[in-house]
């Protein structure tokens, strides 16, 4: 059976993008998969999986971000969510944070070739947040909640809020973070719940979550 192309994959999930966005997404995927041969960036190396998992996640995140906000993608890796978010939400001011040199080099090339007005920090999130301020930080597949909260522990005034992609066991991660004393003064709750799409028909039906963490007021 022929592998679904991008158009067919978008239609299968009833996702509508502009012609320009579709072209840029296709270009991004080709660059990502080519770089992935030398640098471990993604396991999603076909359009069907990319749309079902990566693009679906980014579009769900997009619904939680007001217009014209400044966003920091922590541990950008291969560009999900940061680069893809910049492609589907050009109103946002996106910054990428990636401490691994080889991955940062790939991201730099992507940004230039896609002509995106995206800032890249080849540094750790803790260091970036010492000097820069954002409306929200986003994170996907970069570590458990306790690690994310450790990175932001002294930077909530600059981070404002964290939106982290998590699986069905997110509550266990929050419990572990609490046991480490990292949740004091924070409000942590799921702000999105949606089906975890899989191209594997035998996979168990599960849900994905976006978990928000921010300082309590007062």
Q: Is 93 strand, coil or helix?
A: strand
83 domain-assigned: yes
CA-nearest of 158, 174, 169 to 71 is 158
158 domain-assigned: yes
CA Rg, the chain, in Å?
17
Neighbours of 205 (CB within 10 A): 8
* CATH assignment at residue 164: 3.40.50.150
CA-nearest of 87, 212, 56 to 137 is 212
Beta bridge partners of 212: 163, 189
Number of domains in the chain: 1
* 10-residue averages of pLDDT along the chain (218 residues): 75 94 97 96 95 96 98 98 98 98 98 98 96 97 97 96 96 98 97 77 73 89
1 domain-assigned: no
**pTM reported for the whole predicted model:** 0.94
Domain that holds residue 94: 6-215
Determine contact, residues 27/113, Cβ cutoff 8 Å: yes
What is the spatial distance between Cα 96 and Cα 70, in angstroms, rounded to a whole number? 11
pLDDT at 197: 67
CA angle 44/76/216 to nearest 5° reads 120
């Amino acid at each position: 059976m022929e592998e679904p192309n991008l158009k067919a994959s978008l239609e299968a999930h009833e996702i509508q993008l502009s012609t320009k966005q579709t072209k840029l997404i296709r270009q991004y995927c080709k660059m990502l998969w080519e770089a992935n041969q030398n640098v471990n960036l993604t396991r999603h190396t076909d359009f069907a999986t990319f749309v079902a998992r990566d693009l679906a996640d980014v579009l769900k995140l997009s619904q939680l971000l007001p217009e014209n906000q400044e966003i920091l993608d922590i541990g950008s890796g291969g560009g999900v969510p940061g680069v893809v978010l910049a492609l589907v939400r050009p109103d946002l001011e996106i910054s990428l944070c990636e401490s691994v040199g080889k991955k940062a080099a790939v991201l730099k090339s992507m940004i230039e070739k896609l002509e995106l007005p995206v800032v890249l920090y080849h540094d750790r999130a803790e260091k970036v947040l010492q000097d820069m301020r954002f409306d929200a930080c986003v994170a996907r597949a970069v570590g458990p909640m306790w690690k994310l909260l450790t990175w932001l522990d002294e930077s909530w005034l600059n981070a404002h809020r964290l939106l982290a992609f998590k699986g069905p066991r997110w509550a266990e991660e929050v419990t572990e973070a609490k046991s480490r004393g990292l949740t004091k003064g924070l409000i942590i709750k799921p702000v999105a719940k949606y089906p975890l799409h899989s191209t594997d028909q035998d996979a168990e039906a599960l849900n994905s979550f976006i978990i928000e963490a921010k300082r309590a007021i007062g």
